[in-house]
Structure 1
């Protein structure tokens, strides 16, 4: 960072020095000098490039969050199905943990991610799931499958939680906002003084488009808390499916949690 500041600062000083010392000798006095309009094109190009870069970054974050949420739901459903082949007495509790985990993610952790945070509620059931696995014979073929599935679930959850926080640093967002603001100011400054209705309308439209792009980036960069959010459809469907299967086989009373995935009060 220091090197960049030094190089750019030195370039500016050398350029100004050359302007004062060398330009009068090399260029005629009648030569056209740069005007504000000459700076418009590179400034507008900079603003568009910054917007494009940040929009791609935000879109990737949104896509990663969507993929992680979908993968987690699929793994939880797979965990429940594989646990059906586990030996007694772990089989029922492993399936119950999968149901309670899915309920906790959907009802408790998903709303928490709107604020960019996680919840400890699902961890209660993932911890109990691993505790129950200790009672399964390690030579049993289903043991390795359950271990792998639990690892995949954990990785998908961590990815989902990580993507709930903005991928764009606040400093970079402010830099982008200031760049757009300066661009609009310069464009407005260069409007003709008379009969500028068409130019003014174009500037207003351009300002609206640039502002809308910035707002979309800000929204998409918060995959679980914006208007364009990642819905909880996948985990909700998985939770409903495995809950129905479990209740049909063992009854609601066999679950160690309520409908929100919380442990009942003692």
Structure 2
């Protein structure tokens, strides 16, 4: 194999990205150096932070460059290796998505066990999304059995997992806010004890009705009015995990 295909950023979007902002390009594959592996990507993660990297502005990570491939989380199979630590056939996660094949330093990959979960789960529930929710609830908020937990933006990738994880941690009541009736229904299907549409009225009043005994943990995905509402019903000793 001497060539592969990549998705390049062709132009910087204004507003929502469109297909015109991207270009599918066939490129040559470099020879592997010592310590590198060639990975055939099978899935990649498209995440909200990537939109910010499409702008030519200074941020916590450099912007994507015009005419160059984008990058991001990916999972795939090692098809060639010059590393003693990675064998052909290993399934690994790494940071060079947006391409069919990636030449990666073996040290920048992590082998995953596909007998425990599908490979693409390591980009979601067992990847950055799930670990963000888990760390926020445990390392930051110290969620305990019996807690009442409120999650804003609960229908999003992190929020929806945070609610389910909170229940697994023993939370007595988990409440979520979302932006539509369909999303509220989805949260209830996921096991949230209560959920409300923040468009339906005053957020503080809706939260107080859903949490008559107050809340012990607030997992904040949005800030603003939601944060003010959460503070107004936060019990003594309550904790706030701010995400984003």
Band the TM-score falls in, shorter-chain normalisation: under 0.3
Q: Return the structure number with greater relative CO, CA threshold 8 A, min gap 6.
A: 1
Q: Which entry has the higher C-alpha Rg, 1 or 2?
A: 1
Structure with the higher fraction of residues in strand conformation: 2
TM-score, normalised via structure 2 length = 0.22
